[in-house]
Structures are given as C-alpha cells and as structure tokens.
Amino acid sequence: MSSARHNQLLELLIAFALGELSLEHFEDQVLPLAWESADGSGPAAELAGDVLLWLAEATQGHRTEAELRRLAAARLRTVVVETEPPVARTGTGTPAAARGGPVVSLSDTQGRRPAAASA
C-alpha cells in the first residue's frame, strides 16, 4: 500500500511541478493522501512529510506558489522509485505494467522546467 501511495504522491507532485495543477487543486488532492501516508515509514511517508511541510510554510506566508513548484521539481530529481525485479525475457514474461505493477514515469521532469506559476 505504501508503494501505491508513494506513486500517487509522485504523480500529483509531477503534475503540480509541471503547472498542470493549480495550487488549490494540488492541495485538495494531495492533503488527504499525504496525511494518510505521513504516519508510516519509507518513501511515501518521507515524501508526504516534505509536502505537508511545504504547504504549511506556504499557508503561513513563508513560501510562494512559485517556490513550491521549484521545491516539487527539485524533490522529483532526487526521487528513488521502488520497482519490482526485472522480468526474464523468455517470451513468457509479462512486464510489471501489464501485471498492474507500480510504474512511475519521471521523463516529464527531465530537461523540462515547471511552468511559471502566477502569484
């Protein structure tokens, strides 16, 4: 379950960093998931803790929306994605994506800058 939450948090963070989600929509979607994840341990809890801290700082006026997007993009550059072991390619193996395994694509964060946020 933690891996699924981690992937969901990553997907929201990617969309926010790329400017595909407004801050309001990001908060609406990420807060419940982050609160559920923050109590645990591992990558999902660590990421949730970071997101909750950033949003609290923004609420208190210590961070702007543009700063939040930069933090999100920077955090995505340091993400470690947990995956299943590789499948042997003997002609009968099925890739993790086809089996419903965790798949996270960070290609959108490579070489692309997040869209500028309006203040």
SS3 for 9? helix
Contacts of 91 (CB under 8 A, 6+ apart): none
pTM of the model: 0.63
Q: Which residue has the tokens 């807060």?
A: 31
The first and second tokens of residue 82, run together, are: 């947990």
Dist CA 25 CA 16 (whole Å): 9
Residue 22 · residue 66 · CB < 8 Å: no
Residue with tokens 């981690």: 6
Could you tell me if residue 91 is inside a domain? no
Range of the domain at 23: 2-81
| Structural domain contains residue 87 | no
Q: What are the tens digits of pLDDT across the range 1-58?
A: 568 888 899 999 999 999 999 999 999 999 998 888 877 788 888 888 899 999 999 9
Domains of the chain: total: 1
